[in-house]
């Protein structure tokens, strides 16, 4: 059976549409990977690329401007990362710009972030070297965190031991908190202190009335009174805004009072 003209046309349209979709898809993917349009190349060297892969994005001022083209090991401590960047971004990436490896969100893909440092530097050359900062090694961070956790475990264990001993009434703090004997002893000591201070105040009163020390206590009481009068005078004169003459007059009056 021969294919009719209509069947041929429909098949042709269907095939054409399918191929257009395929080519459109390829074009979109290629565009995202910077395969079409003007581009330039730069490279950087890192001690540790931290899981960066070919095809990961390169970001400049928060905009995806390129992709990682290739990653090669160039020595036992260095890896070279080649990047392909859109030509549109070329005038803004200077020779002193710094590339570091970051992450797109907490769980996102790795990417290269290019940061500008100054406006004065010259524009980076095609196939030029860009300065780099090595990424934070997650393994090292985890190592530190695990050491902190180990220390915390030791500390909490020791604290738990201390708390158990205190609860059991062992040691000075435990005895202090849980022993009745100590509390009774303390109570007794406080009673003794009370009695002692009462006796002492009686003795002091007796001393004040003794003829040998009577004069001393009187002198002390007078000095106290004089001090209070001076302070009262100072307060009065500062509040009244007196001139020099009035101040001298008031001082003389005060001296008279003090002599009396």
Partner 1 sequence: MAQEIYIPSYKRVLEEAGNQVLFMFRFFRNIFRFDFEWNELVRQCYMIGYRSFPLVAITGFIVGFVMTLQAEPTMKEFGAESYIPRMVAVSLIREICPVIIALICAGKVASGIGAELGSMKVTEQVEAMEVSGANPIQYLVVTRILACMFMIPLLNIAAEGLGLLGSYAGINIGEHVSPVLFFNKAFTSITFGDLLPSFIKTVFFGFAIGFVGCYKGYNSDRGTESVGIAANSAVVNASLWIIVMDAIAVQLTNALGY
- Residue 184's alpha-carbon distances to 167, 173, 237, in angstroms, are 20, 16, 58
Please name which of 65, 70, 113, 62 lies closest in space to residue 91, comparing C-alpha atoms: 65
Taking the least distance from each CB to partner 1, the nearer of 20 and 123 is 20
Note the Cα 118 to chain centre separation in Å: 27
CA distance 245 to 237: 12
Any contact of residue 28 with partner 1 (CB under 8 A)? Answer: yes
Query: What binding mask, one character per residue, do residues 45-74 give for partner 1 by CB under 8 A, x or -?
Result: ----------x-------------------
Angle at 236 between CA 234 and CA 239, to 5 degrees: 105
Taking the least distance from each CB to partner 1, the nearer of 65 and 97 is 65
Taking the least distance from each CB to partner 1, the nearer of 53 and 175 is 53
CA distance 77 to 10: 61
Full DSSP string of 69-116: EEEEE-SSS-EEEEEEEEGGGGGG-BTT-EEEEEESSSSS-EEEEEE-
Any contact of residue 5 with partner 1 (CB under 8 A)? Answer: no
Taking the least distance from each CB to partner 1, the nearer of 21 and 190 is 21
Query: What binding mask, one character per residue, do residues 85-124 give for partner 1 by CB under 8 A, x or -?
Result: ----------------------x-----------------
Among the listed ranges 16-24, 124-132, 140-148, 161-169, the one in contact with partner 1 (CB under 8 A) is 16-24
Any contact of residue 127 with partner 1 (CB under 8 A)? Answer: no
**Interface residue list for partner 1 (CB under 8 A):** 1-3, 7-8, 10-11, 14-15, 17-19, 21-22, 25-26, 28-30, 32-33, 55, 107
């Amino acid at each position: 059976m021969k294919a009719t003209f209509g069947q041929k046309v429909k098949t042709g349209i269907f095939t054409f549409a399918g191929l257009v979709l395929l080519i459109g898809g390829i074009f979109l993917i290629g565009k995202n990977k910077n395969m079409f349009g003007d581009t330039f190349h730069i490279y950087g060297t890192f001690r540790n690329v931290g899981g960066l892969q070919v095809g990961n994005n390169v970001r400049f001022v928060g905009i995806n401007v390129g992709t990682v083209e290739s990653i090669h090991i160039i020595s036992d401590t260095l890896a070279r990362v080649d990047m392909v960047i859109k030509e549109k971004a070329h005038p803004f990436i200077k020779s002193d710009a710094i590339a570091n490896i970051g992450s797109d969100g907490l769980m996102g893909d790795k990417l290269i972030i290019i940061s500008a440092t100054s406006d004065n530097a010259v524009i980076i050359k095609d196939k030029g070297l860009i300065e780099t900062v090595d990424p934070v090694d997650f393994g090292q961070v985890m190592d530190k965190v695990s050491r902190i956790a180990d220390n915390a475990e030791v500390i909490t264990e020791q604290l738990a031991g201390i708390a158990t001993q205190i609860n059991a009434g062992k040691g000075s703090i435990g005895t202090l908190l849980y022993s009745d004997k100590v509390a009774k002893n303390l109570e007794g000591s406080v009673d003794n202190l009370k009695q002692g201070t009462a006796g002492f105040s009686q003795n002091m009163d007796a001393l004040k009335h003794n003829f040998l020390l009577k004069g001393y206590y009187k002198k002390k009481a007078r000095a106290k009174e004089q001090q209070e009068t001076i302070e009262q005078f100072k307060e009065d004169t500062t509040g009244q805004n007196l001139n020099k003459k009035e101040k001298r007059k008031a001082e003389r009056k005060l001296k008279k009072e003090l002599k009396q």
